[in-house]
Amino acid sequence: MSAPSMFEAIVVHEPDTPPTQLVLLFHGVGAQPQDLVPLGQALAAQWPTACIASVQSPDPSDLGRGWQWFSVAGVTETNRPARVAATLPRFVATVQHWQQQTGLDAASTTLVGFSQGAIMALESTQQAQPQADHVVAIAGRFAQPPQNASGRTRIHLMHGDADAVMPLQLALDAQRWLQALNAQVTLDVFAGLGHGIDQRVLDAMIRRLQGELLAPRGLTG
């Protein structure tokens, strides 16, 4: 399996007129962009003027299938932050590429990540300049405690309480850390949900974003 181009993605929805919003979907390790196409289609039904793309992670996965942003082979609490930091510039460059392609800025961008994709989306909030107006992190975590919050990016954490891959405590920690930084953060917990996405997650995501994507705001650092 050869590595894809840096910015490979499936464009799930592209409006006939210039888009008013950019929604980027980021899959988990060992997965592929096709896996999040149904989620993108559901979001497109809500926001038909948005450009929605499911992004492919840049490297072949060590799991023998799918793709990854960083290796999870031998990953620990100690070495995870360095692995994420090493690949984060590529993630930011990917977001900025799609913003340039659509003529939209961070104020009109929403990042939706699942698992490893959520890790990357959350870590991108630690950049000096905000990358997005909204970050939706499904079954994710911070690689290390966040040190700052832009005060503008709204972060929506979504997690199953039966997740054995990313225990719920990781989302509770993220919420606590972000609240201490005065970040705009919400947390939705889904009873009985493991490491996955179900209709309840989609409904919660739409509820959190409803109306807000129709009125993008200016972002400051």
pLDDT at 210 over 90: no
The predicted model gives 185-209 an average pLDDT of 96
- What is the domain count for the chain? 1
Q: In this predicted model, which residue has the larger pLDDT, 4 or 151?
A: 151
What is the crossing angle of helices 116-124 and 80-102, to 10°?
A: 80
Tell whether 206 is covered by a domain. Answer: yes
Say what the pLDDT of residue 215 is.
46
The predicted model gives 87-97 an average pLDDT of 97
pLDDT at 1 over 50: no
Asked which of 67-71, 145-149, 159-163, 191-195 is least confident by mean pLDDT, the reply is: 145-149
Find out whether 98 and 184 touch, Cβ atoms under 8 Å.
no
Residue 29: CATH number of its domain: 3.40.50.1820
Tell whether 2 is covered by a domain. Answer: no
Say what the pLDDT of residue 209 is.
92
Say what the pLDDT of residue 203 is.
95
pLDDT tens digits along 3-47: 446 689 999 999 999 999 999 999 999 999 999 999 999 999 999
Residues belonging to the active site: 115, 163, 195
Kindly report the length of the chain.
221
The closest alpha carbon to 171, from 189, 154, 183, 153, belongs to: 189
The predicted model gives 54-68 an average pLDDT of 95
For residue 214, what pLDDT band results from cuts at 50, 70 and 90? low
Say what the pLDDT of residue 64 is.
87
Q: What pairing do the DSSP bridges indicate for beta strands 50-55 and 21-26?
A: parallel
Tell whether 76 is covered by a domain. Answer: yes
Tell whether 173 is covered by a domain. Answer: yes
pLDDT at 217 over 50: no
Q: What is the mean pLDDT of the chain?
A: 92
The one-character DSSP state at 36 is: G
The predicted model gives 102-109 an average pLDDT of 96
Tell whether 161 is covered by a domain. Answer: yes
Q: Collect all residues with Cβ–Cβ distance below 8 Å to 27 and sequence separation of at least 6.
A: 33, 35, 36, 54, 55, 56, 57, 66, 67, 114, 115, 116, 117
The closest alpha carbon to 73, from 16, 15, 36, 30, belongs to: 30
Task: Supply the range of the domain harboring residue 180.
Answer: 9-214
In one-letter notation, the amino acid at residue 87 is T
pTM: 0.93
Tell whether 57 is covered by a domain. Answer: yes
Tell whether 79 is covered by a domain. Answer: yes
The one-character DSSP state at 45 is: H
The predicted model gives 111-126 an average pLDDT of 97
For residue 56, what pLDDT band results from cuts at 50, 70 and 90? very high
Say what the pLDDT of residue 7 is.
83
Tell whether 4 is covered by a domain. Answer: no
